[in-house]
Amino acid sequence: MAFILQKARLFLSFFIVVTFSQTYANNGYDLWLQYKKTENNNLLSHYKSTVKSIVVFGTSKTIEISARELKKGLSGMLGQTIPKTSNIESDNVIVISSLSNLEKNFLPLIENDFVNLPDEGFLIKSVKYRNKNLTLIISKNDIGVLYGSFAFLRLLQTNQRIDNLNIKDAPRLKHRLLNHWDNPDRTVERGYAGFSIWNWHKLPEYIDQRYIDYARANASVGINGTVLTNVNANALILTPEYLEKVEALANVFRPYGIKVYLTARFSAPIQIGKLETADPLDEKVQQWWKNKAKEIYERIPDFGGFLVKANSEGQPGPQNYRRNHVDGANMLADAVAPYGGIVMWRAFVYSEHDPTDRAKQAYSEFVPYDGQFRNNVMVQVKNGAIDFQPREPFHPMFGAMPHTPLTMEFQITQEYLGFSTHLVYLPKLYEEVLQADTYAQGKGSTVAKVIDGSLHNNSLTGMAGVSNIGNDINWTGHHFAQANWYGYGRLAWNPYLSAEKIAEEWIRCTFSNSEEFVDTIKRMMIKSRETVVNYMTPYGLHHIMGTGHHYGPAPWVSNLPRPEWNPVYYHKADGYGIGFNRTKSGSNATSQYFPEVEKMYDKAKTTPEKDLLWFHHLPWDYKLKNELTLWEGIAMKYQQGVNEVYEMLTTWEKMKKYIDNERYNDVKMSLEIQLKEAKWWRDACLLYFQQFSEMPLPDGVHAPNKNLDYYQSLKFPYAPGRG
Ligand code: BDP
């Protein structure tokens, strides 16, 4: 009887497993940490013979987490449990340890490798020890062990061999941060993946599993900091009630090497401190911030510091008191300096009282302050001078402030790039900016060298990514938007990695190692960024999205109170032509670049065509390099964008056999929406611009089946992401 019962139970559990895995095939929650069993049999046996057990030195939480991760990952990918042992005499063992905990006998095998290895760095090395084969994962401090463990697992995830390893790696940037634009009510400004994952109401007692999984995912790509709150800040977060909640999150994140940061609302001394002013030169105000910093550090000894948006888009700041950015930033810097904290002061400023080209304002305002900030201040600069467009030339501030550490701000959430419905692989955009040459110190002075400190010899370095994470089950709303989180993290670790390599890693870790799938999907991802540019803003057009929510095309908008909030300000289409003249004969924004770059952008003929209308106002019949007129070229790009989305959809359909049903269908539905919206962009923009060009659509461009009035009548009062 017992036997029969046991059989029945076995059968039942088998049944449950099978149904479970089909119904909940894959909702994407596990991100790139899928750890599926290795399909390639040769590799599988190679892995099995190289990894028999794990030996762990050290007892910290970080080390424990590393061991658990290795066990989980290896057991998953090898299809058998890989135990932890304490026997270093056995063969084919993975040894993890920080240098200080390592068994003395091992030291001679690796000591030389540690010369010049920065903090957080690690070594993965195959060694022979007393005739046994071992793989050592060793770091200077515990967090490096975790990074090394993830790096080792990635080798298996991407189907590489794991014998003869000698890998040394360390992050190139010190502060690798996510910026959450999350509000206390859990709305997320420019968030398209549900609500904020921070459940402030239930904190500090209730620790959502998400917080742990979030920290783990970030650690797996080397992200080491998180700004929990929106740059349009709420002073409440600095009150004791909320600091207690922040402390609880900090405690969860700490063993994963992640520090928490907060946005500081500049007027907080008035709002929550009962002071009459927030003037940074007022001693009471300075003292208030010092006390606040002390209070925070008493709770959170490794608190990272403050991110500040001041005197921008209505946020309070030092200019309210006729002080300047230096006064404001330095006051906060002094408050956190005794504890090792930093201030990230944003350069995203433009003013309705300043009639000059918006693209010039941040540079004009900040560059004169070079060298005046305290040494724990970083100025945080968006990748381009306007605002996270599908394409912008690099921000002219990069390279222009040799005595001030500049940190790069990228947007991971797709505010201007189709929200979480469009498949756009952003590392291609990041790479383009990082590899751009500023010529600050002659040829080869790339933006990457500015931000990693090597160009101007800064040691305070960083990158910030505006997060695309929300409480959607798959975290980012679109399965492929996970690649943007992943890719951002990898580039913050090493800004010289290629977007293509990152895409390949991500595909292998997230979906499959089948070569056909990897090649096909990689090509699709790499192209996707150019595709969105084609169907939204080709040839350097920018900021022609819907008002406020930035959803869909609205190049016609001209009635907003601030001129630079209107799309017509940016495209300047008229009977003569289209584009923003930023050359010497126009706004002269080109003069903010170093001479070589200025010269290139100052003439239409030498400006790369991808940036043409960013810098030039050109006639509709201007001849492009391909002999088409500008009008024809623009029309053809919009059509090409649509065609390319159609190709993405068919590519995805062809790859069906490699993908679980759930993710296949999710992505397919999104691609269908993307196709619909790409057509909408094409039709609305071409109908609108055609009023000025008065030229027919070239052959091959699909004629719209609705009129311009229709597109202009569309309203989206509930478009997501307005915070
Ligand atoms: C713009 C967003 C706005 C942000 C602002 C910023 O539309 O929601 O507050 O940037 O970066 O892109 O401060």
| Domain-embedded: residue 88 | yes
Q: Does residue 205 sit within a domain?
A: yes
- The finding on whether 392 has its CB within 6 A of some atom of ligand 1 is no
Q: At 177, phi and psi to the nearest 5?
A: -115, 150
The reply to whether 632 belongs to the active site is no
498 and 569 fall within a common domain: no
DSSP string covering 18-81? HHHHHHTS--STTTT---PPP--HHHHHHHHHH-SEEEE---SHHHHHHHHHHHHHHHHHHTS-
pLDDT, position 250:
99
Mean pLDDT, range 245-252, rounded to an integer: 99
Residue ending a domain, choose from 107, 135, 169: 169
Q: Check residue 21 and give its pLDDT.
A: 39
On whether the CB atoms of residues 423 and 431 are closer than 8 A, the answer is no
- CA–centroid distance, 387 to ligand 1, in Å, is 8
Rounded distance, CA 173 to CA 449, Å? 11
**DSSP letters for 618-641:** EETTPBPTTS-BHHHHHHHHHHHH
| Spatial separation of the C-alpha atoms in residues 525 and 512, rounded to whole Å | 15
| Cβ of 150 below 6 Å from ligand 1 | no
Predicted pLDDT of residue 588: 98
Pairwise CA distance, residues 40 & 658, whole Å: 15
Shared domain check, 183 and 125: no
CATH number at residue 464: 3.20.20.80
Rounded CA gap, 416 and 418, in Å? 6
Q: What are phi and psi of 410, to 5 degrees?
A: -105, 160
- 3-state DSSP assignment of residue 555: coil
Crossing angle of helices 61-78 and 142-157, in 10° steps, is 10
Question: What are 20-57's pLDDT values in tens digits?
Answer: 434 458 999 999 999 999 999 999 999 999 999 999 99
Q: Which residue's entry shows tokens 């032509």?
A: 577
Query: What letter would DSSP give residue 478?
Result: S
Secondary structure (3-state) at 611: helix
Residue 220 CA: distances (Å) to CA of 132, 144, 257, 391, 559: 29, 11, 11, 29, 47
d(CA 504, CA 516): 12
In short, whether 348's Cβ falls inside 6 Å of ligand 1 is yes
Q: Which of 120, 415, 452, 677 is catalytic?
A: 415
How far is residue 527's CA from residue 484's CA, in Å, rounded to a whole number?
Answer: 14
Backbone angles phi, psi at 598, to 5 degrees: -55, -45
Q: How far is the CA of 464 from the centre of ligand 1 (A)?
A: 14
Give yes or no: residues 548 and 497 share one domain: no
Q: What is the pLDDT of residue 335?
A: 99
- What are φ and ψ of residue 232, in 5° steps? -80, 90
pLDDT of residue 14 exceeding 70, the answer is no
Same structural domain, 652 and 675: yes
Q: Do both 162 and 272 map to the same domain?
A: no
35 assigned to some structural domain? no
Q: What confidence score (pLDDT) does residue 25 get?
A: 80
Closest atom of ligand 1 to CA, residue 312: 13
Tens-place pLDDT, residues 404-433: 999 999 999 999 999 999 999 999 999 999
* Contact assessment for residue 470 and residue 191, using Cβ atoms and an 8 Å cutoff: yes
* Same-domain check for residues 153 and 179: no
Same domain, 437 and 571: no
Q: Is the residue at 526 inside a domain?
A: no
Task: Render pLDDT for 49-68 as a digit per residue (tens, 0 to 9).
Answer: 999 999 999 999 999 999 99
- pLDDT confidence of 123, banded at 50, 70, 90? very high
Name the active-site residue from 30, 64, 113, 313. 313
723 occurs within a structural domain: no
Q: What is the CATH number of the domain that holds 57?
A: 3.30.379.10
Own/partner pairs for 388-391, CB < 8 Å, 24+ apart? Answer: 388/415, 388/416, 388/466, 389/416, 389/537, 389/542, 389/543, 390/416, 390/417, 390/429, 390/529, 390/532, 390/533, 390/536, 390/537, 390/542, 391/429, 391/432, 391/533, 391/537, 391/540, 391/542, 391/610, 391/611
The verdict on 76 and 218 lying in the same domain is no
Q: Is the pLDDT of residue 19 over 50?
A: no
Instruction: Write the DSSP string, 110-169.
Output: HGGGGTTPPTT-EEEEEEEETTEEEEEEEESSHHHHHHHHHHHHHHHHTT---SS-EEEE
In this predicted structure, which of 168-177, 462-471, 560-569, 638-647 has the lowest mean pLDDT? Answer: 560-569
Structural domains in the chain (count): 3
Find, among 328, 395, 329, the residue nearest to 358 by Cα.
395
Q: pLDDT at position 683, please?
A: 98
Mutate to test the pocket of ligand 1, among 266, 415, 570 (most ligand atoms within 8 A of CB): 415
For residue 327, tell me if it sits in a domain.
yes
Predicted local distance difference test score (pLDDT) of residue 22? 41
Residues 158 and 278 in one domain: no
Averaged pLDDT of the chain: 96
DSSP-derived secondary structure letter, 371: T
User: Residue 188 is encoded by which pair of tokens?
Assistant: 């997320």
| Within-domain flag for 527 | no
- Of the residues 182, 365, 387, 530, only one is catalytic, namely 387
Residues 313 and 448 in one domain: yes
Q: Give me the residues paired with residue 125 across strands.
A: 136, 166
The residues, ordered by sequence, that sit 6+ positions from 710 with a Cβ below 8 Å of its Cβ are none
pLDDT, tens only, 307-328: 999 999 999 999 999 999 999 9
Same domain, 464 and 562: no
Q: Can you tell me the mean pLDDT for 571-580? A: 98
Cis peptide before 698 (omega within 30 of 0): no
DSSP three-state, residue 227:
strand
* Tokens at 315, concatenated: 């946020």
* Any domain includes 399: yes
Q: For residue range 327-383, what is the model confidence (pLDDT) as tens digits?
A: 999 999 999 999 999 999 999 999 888 999 999 999 999 999 999 999 999 999 999
Strand partners, 466: 179, 411
Last residue of a domain, one of 169, 192, 208: 169
Based on the residue annotation, tell me whether 647 is a catalytic residue of this protein: no
pTM: 0.96
CA angle 604/610/611 to nearest 5° reads 55
User: Tokens 């006064």 label which residue?
Assistant: 327
* 386 pLDDT above the threshold of 50: yes
> Residue 50 and residue 91: Cα distance in Å, rounded?
9
CB 387 near ligand 1, within 6 Å: yes
State which ligand 1 atom lies nearest to the alpha carbon of 232.
9
Same domain (yes/no): 208, 315: yes
The pLDDT of residue 353 is 87
**DSSP string for 279-313:** -TT-HHHHHHHHHHHHHHHHH-TT--EEEE--SST
Is the pLDDT reported for residue 111 higher than 90?
Answer: no
CA nearest ligand 1 atom 11, residue = 348
Do 606 and 615 meet the contact criterion of CB atoms below 8 Å apart? no
Give the pairing type, strands 122-129 and 377-382. Answer: unpaired
Bridging pattern class, strands 225-227 and 175-179: parallel
Quick one: pLDDT at residue 174? 98
Residue range 583-613, pLDDT digits in tens: 999 999 999 999 999 999 999 999 999 999 9
* Helical segments of 369-480, H only: 427-434, 447-451
Of 152, 169, 186, at which residue does a domain stop? Answer: 169
As a whole number, mean pLDDT of residues 524-534 equals 99
Active site residue 313: yes
Containing domain of residue 76, as a range?
A: 41-169
**Could you tell me the CATH number of the domain that includes residue 668?**
3.90.1330.10
Environment class of 411 (CB within 10 Å of its CB; exposed 0-12, middle 13-18, buried 19+): buried
